[in-house]
Amino acid sequence: MKKKYIPKPVDTTQVVLPQELLDLGEAIAENVHEVWAQGRLSEGWTYGPEKDGLKKQTPCLVPYSDLPEEEKAYDRNTAFETIKFILAKGFIIVKIEDD
């Protein structure tokens, strides 16, 4: 019998992101969507009004800016939690030059 899986993510509740890392998180979220979309397109998926795995259609094959807020929130959560994890593990994030 398999042991019940109990997720134990690193506690990042005390990590507060400054504005520049919130901006970075938003850029990461957009890139996560772009990578996801590129993968779907390479697998033969196309835009469709509803997600249909058999037809390989999804309404999320649109630019990040056109996604519904709940879809953006999923990507943002992944990005922000990754940045918080990096900081919680004692690493620092330094921007070398301005864009």
* 78 lies in some domain: yes
Q: Does the residue 2 lie in any domain?
A: no
Neighbours of 86 (CB within 10 A): 15
93 within some domain: no
- Residue 99 pLDDT level (bands cut at 50, 70, 90): low
Chain segment 27-85, per-residue pLDDT in tens = 999 999 999 999 999 999 999 999 999 999 999 999 999 999 999 999 999 999 999 99
Number of domains in the chain: 1
Residue 98 forms part of a structural domain: no
Q: Is residue 67 part of a domain?
A: yes
Q: Is the pLDDT of residue 89 over 70?
A: yes
Return the CATH number at 80: 1.10.490.160
Averaged pLDDT of the chain: 95
Domain membership of residue 13 (yes or no) is no
DSSP-based three-state secondary structure for 39: helix
Q: What's the pLDDT at 97?
A: 83
Q: Supply φ then ψ for residue 91, to 5 degrees.
A: -85, 160
Residue 60 is part of which domain span?
19-88
Is the pTM of the predicted complex or chain greater than 0.85? yes
Assigned token pair, 23 = 């901006």
**74 within some domain:** yes
Question: What are the structure tokens assigned to 19, written together?
Answer: 């504005």
Residue 36 lies in a domain: yes
